[in-house]
Chains A and B, each alone.
Chain A
Amino acid sequence: MASRFRIRVNGRAHTVRAEPDTPLLYVLTNDLELKGPRFGCGLAQCGSCSVLIDGVERRSCVTPIATVENAEITTLEGLTRWFAAKRGLSAVPDLHPVQQAMLDEQAPQCGYCYNGMIIKAAELLEQNGDPSDAEIRAAMNGHLCRCGTYPRIVNAIKRAAQTMRASPEDRE
Chain B
Amino acid sequence: MSASGDAFGSIGRRAFLKAGGALVVGFAIGVPSAGRAQSTARGATAGPPNPELIDTWLAIHADNTATLYIGYVELGQGTTTALPQIAAEELDLALEQISTAQHDTNVTPNQGGTYSSASIARGGPQVRRAAAEARRVLLELASERLGVPVERLRVENGVVTAEGTNRSVTYGELVGGRLFEVPFTGEARPKSPDQYKLVGKPAPRKDLPAKVAGTYTYIQHLRLPGMLHGRVVRPRGQRAYGAGARVVGVDESSIAHIEGARVLRKGDFLGVVAPNEWAAVRAARELKVSWDDRPSLPPFDRLYETMRADETDDTVVLERGSVAEAFASAAHRVTFSSRCPYQAHATFAPNCALADVKADSALVIAPTQDAYGTRRTLAALLGLPEDKVRVQYCESSGTYGHSCYDDVAQAAALMSQLAGAPVRVQLMRWDEHGWDPYGPAHVGEVQVAADTNGKLVAYEYHGWHHNWSLIETSQQLAEGTEPAEWPFLVSQQVSPQNCGAMYAIENLKLVNHRLRTAKYLRCGWLRSPLDLSLSFTSEQAIDELAYRLGEDPCEFRRRNIADERWLGVLDAAARAASWTPRPARADRNDGPVVRGRGIGLGTHLASWGGAVAEIAVNKQTGHVAIEHLYGAIDAGLVVNPAIVEAQIMGQLVQTASRMLFEEVTFDERGVTSLDWNGYRVIRFEECPEITPVIVQRLDQPYSGAGEEVMAAAAAAIANAFFDATGVRMTEYPFTPRRVLAALSSA
- To the question of whether A and B form a pair in one complex, the answer is yes
Q: Contact residues of A with B, CB < 8 Å?
A: 2, 18-19, 21-23, 26, 29-30, 33, 35-36, 38-43, 45-46, 48, 76-77, 95, 99-100, 102-103, 106-115, 118, 136-138, 140-141, 143-154
Q: Identify B687's interface contact among A29, A40, A100, A151, CB under 8 A.
A: A151
Question: In the complex, A146→B679 CA distance in Å?
Answer: 12
Inside 8 A of B400's CB, which chain A residues have their CB? 146
Asked if A99 and B676 make an inter-chain contact with CB atoms under 8 angstroms apart, the answer reads: no
Asked if B649 and A144 make an inter-chain contact with CB atoms under 8 angstroms apart, the answer reads: no
Asked if B397 and A43 make an inter-chain contact with CB atoms under 8 angstroms apart, the answer reads: no
Asked if B676 and A35 make an inter-chain contact with CB atoms under 8 angstroms apart, the answer reads: no
Asked if A110 and B690 make an inter-chain contact with CB atoms under 8 angstroms apart, the answer reads: no
Q: A110-B75, A114-B211, A118-B214 known; 13 other A-B pairs, CB under 8 Å?
A: A35-B221, A36-B214, A103-B208, A109-B650, A110-B348, A111-B76, A111-B216, A141-B684, A147-B397, A148-B650, A148-B654, A150-B653, A150-B687
Asked if B653 and A106 make an inter-chain contact with CB atoms under 8 angstroms apart, the answer reads: no
Q: Are A26 and B687 also in contact (CB < 8 A) when A99-B212, A106-B205, A108-B211 are?
A: no
The contact sample of 17 A-B pairs, CB cut-off 8 A, is: A19-B279, A23-B278, A35-B214, A35-B215, A40-B429, A41-B429, A41-B676, A45-B675, A108-B208, A112-B397, A112-B398, A114-B214, A115-B214, A141-B683, A147-B650, A148-B650, A154-B684
Asked if B349 and A35 make an inter-chain contact with CB atoms under 8 angstroms apart, the answer reads: no
Encoded as 1 (CB less than 8 Å from any A CB) or 0, chain B from 243 to 277 comes to 00000000000000001000000000000000011
- The smallest C-beta distance from A1 to any residue of chain B, in angstroms, reads 9
A76, A115, A149 — most chain B CB neighbours (10 Å)? A149
Inside 8 A of A148's CB, which chain B residues have their CB? 649-654, 657, 682, 687
Inside 8 A of A23's CB, which chain B residues have their CB? 278
Asked if B397 and A146 make an inter-chain contact with CB atoms under 8 angstroms apart, the answer reads: yes
Q: Contact residues of B with A, CB < 8 Å?
A: 13-14, 17, 75-77, 204-205, 207-209, 211-218, 220-221, 223, 259, 276-279, 281, 346-350, 395-398, 400, 426, 428-429, 642, 646, 649-654, 657, 675-677, 681-685, 687, 689-690
Q: Identify A149's interface contact among B214, B216, B650, CB under 8 A.
A: B650
Q: Identify B220's interface contact among A38, A140, A144, A146, CB under 8 A.
A: A38
Asked if A35 and B396 make an inter-chain contact with CB atoms under 8 angstroms apart, the answer reads: no
Question: In the complex, A141→B77 CA distance in Å?
Answer: 24
Asked if A40 and B14 make an inter-chain contact with CB atoms under 8 angstroms apart, the answer reads: no
* Beta-carbon nearest neighbor of A138 in chain B: B685
The 4 A-B pairs of least Cβ separation, nearest first, read A148-B653, A110-B76, A111-B211, A112-B397
Question: In the complex, A36→B276 CA distance in Å?
Answer: 20
Inside 8 A of B212's CB, which chain A residues have their CB? 95, 99-100, 102-103, 107-108, 111, 114, 118
CB within 8 Å: A-B pair count: 170
- The smallest C-beta distance from A84 to any residue of chain B, in angstroms, reads 16
- The smallest C-beta distance from A123 to any residue of chain B, in angstroms, reads 15
Q: Are A46 and B348 also in contact (CB < 8 A) when A35-B217, A111-B76, A112-B397 are?
A: yes
Question: In the complex, A99→B215 CA distance in Å?
Answer: 12
Asked if B13 and A35 make an inter-chain contact with CB atoms under 8 angstroms apart, the answer reads: yes
Q: Identify B76's interface contact among A108, A136, A150, CB under 8 A.
A: A108
Asked if A151 and B398 make an inter-chain contact with CB atoms under 8 angstroms apart, the answer reads: no
Asked if B13 and A112 make an inter-chain contact with CB atoms under 8 angstroms apart, the answer reads: no
Inside 8 A of B397's CB, which chain A residues have their CB? 40, 110, 112-113, 146-147
Q: Are A147 and B209 also in contact (CB < 8 A) when A33-B17, A48-B348 are?
A: no
Inside 8 A of B215's CB, which chain A residues have their CB? 35
- The smallest C-beta distance from A156 to any residue of chain B, in angstroms, reads 9
Inside 8 A of B651's CB, which chain A residues have their CB? 148
- The smallest C-beta distance from A110 to any residue of chain B, in angstroms, reads 3
Question: In the complex, A71→B208 CA distance in Å?
Answer: 31
Inside 8 A of A153's CB, which chain B residues have their CB? 684
Asked if B14 and A106 make an inter-chain contact with CB atoms under 8 angstroms apart, the answer reads: no
* A interface secondary structure, majority: loop
Q: Identify A144's interface contact among B204, B216, B348, CB under 8 A.
A: B348
- The smallest C-beta distance from A133 to any residue of chain B, in angstroms, reads 10
Inside 8 A of B426's CB, which chain A residues have their CB? 39
Q: Are A30 and B14 also in contact (CB < 8 A) when A40-B348, A147-B398 are?
A: no
B223, B397, B429, B683 — most chain A CB neighbours (10 Å)? B397
Inside 8 A of A41's CB, which chain B residues have their CB? 350, 429, 675-676
Question: In the complex, A19→B281 CA distance in Å?
Answer: 12
Q: Identify A150's interface contact among B217, B677, B684, CB under 8 A.
A: B684
Q: Identify B349's interface contact among A18, A40, A43, A108, CB under 8 A.
A: A40
Inside 8 A of A141's CB, which chain B residues have their CB? 683-685
- The smallest C-beta distance from B551 to any residue of chain A, in angstroms, reads 33
* Beta-carbon nearest neighbor of B426 in chain A: A39
Asked if B208 and A110 make an inter-chain contact with CB atoms under 8 angstroms apart, the answer reads: no
Question: In the complex, A86→B112 CA distance in Å?
Answer: 51
Question: In the complex, A11→B298 CA distance in Å?
Answer: 56
* Beta-carbon nearest neighbor of A99 in chain B: B212
Asked if A111 and B277 make an inter-chain contact with CB atoms under 8 angstroms apart, the answer reads: no
- The smallest C-beta distance from B319 to any residue of chain A, in angstroms, reads 38
- The smallest C-beta distance from A38 to any residue of chain B, in angstroms, reads 6
Question: In the complex, A148→B689 CA distance in Å?
Answer: 12
- The smallest C-beta distance from A65 to any residue of chain B, in angstroms, reads 9
Inside 8 A of B398's CB, which chain A residues have their CB? 109-110, 112, 146-147
- The smallest C-beta distance from A44 to any residue of chain B, in angstroms, reads 10
Asked if A26 and B278 make an inter-chain contact with CB atoms under 8 angstroms apart, the answer reads: yes
Q: Identify A111's interface contact among B207, B221, B652, B675, CB under 8 A.
A: B207
Question: In the complex, A152→B689 CA distance in Å?
Answer: 10
Inside 8 A of A22's CB, which chain B residues have their CB? 278
Asked if B395 and A43 make an inter-chain contact with CB atoms under 8 angstroms apart, the answer reads: no
* Beta-carbon nearest neighbor of B674 in chain A: A43
Question: In the complex, A76→B14 CA distance in Å?
Answer: 18
Asked if A111 and B208 make an inter-chain contact with CB atoms under 8 angstroms apart, the answer reads: yes
Question: In the complex, A144→B205 CA distance in Å?
Answer: 22
Asked if B348 and A33 make an inter-chain contact with CB atoms under 8 angstroms apart, the answer reads: no
Inside 8 A of A35's CB, which chain B residues have their CB? 13, 214-218, 221
* Beta-carbon nearest neighbor of B218 in chain A: A112
Inside 8 A of B653's CB, which chain A residues have their CB? 148-151
Inside 8 A of A110's CB, which chain B residues have their CB? 75-76, 348, 395-398
- The smallest C-beta distance from A47 to any residue of chain B, in angstroms, reads 10
- The smallest C-beta distance from A76 to any residue of chain B, in angstroms, reads 4
Inside 8 A of B350's CB, which chain A residues have their CB? 39-41
Q: Are A30 and B13 also in contact (CB < 8 A) when A38-B220, A144-B348, A148-B654 are?
A: no
Inside 8 A of B220's CB, which chain A residues have their CB? 29, 38-39
Question: In the complex, A154→B506 CA distance in Å?
Answer: 48
- The smallest C-beta distance from A42 to any residue of chain B, in angstroms, reads 6
Question: In the complex, A138→B346 CA distance in Å?
Answer: 23
Inside 8 A of B349's CB, which chain A residues have their CB? 38-40, 48, 112
Inside 8 A of B642's CB, which chain A residues have their CB? 106
- The smallest C-beta distance from B501 to any residue of chain A, in angstroms, reads 27
Inside 8 A of B207's CB, which chain A residues have their CB? 111
Asked if A103 and B649 make an inter-chain contact with CB atoms under 8 angstroms apart, the answer reads: no
Inside 8 A of A137's CB, which chain B residues have their CB? 684-685, 687
Inside 8 A of B428's CB, which chain A residues have their CB? 42
* Beta-carbon nearest neighbor of B258 in chain A: A19
Question: In the complex, A115→B221 CA distance in Å?
Answer: 13
Inside 8 A of A33's CB, which chain B residues have their CB? 13-14, 17
Inside 8 A of B77's CB, which chain A residues have their CB? 109
- The smallest C-beta distance from B273 to any residue of chain A, in angstroms, reads 15
* Beta-carbon nearest neighbor of B74 in chain A: A110
Inside 8 A of B278's CB, which chain A residues have their CB? 18-19, 21-23, 26
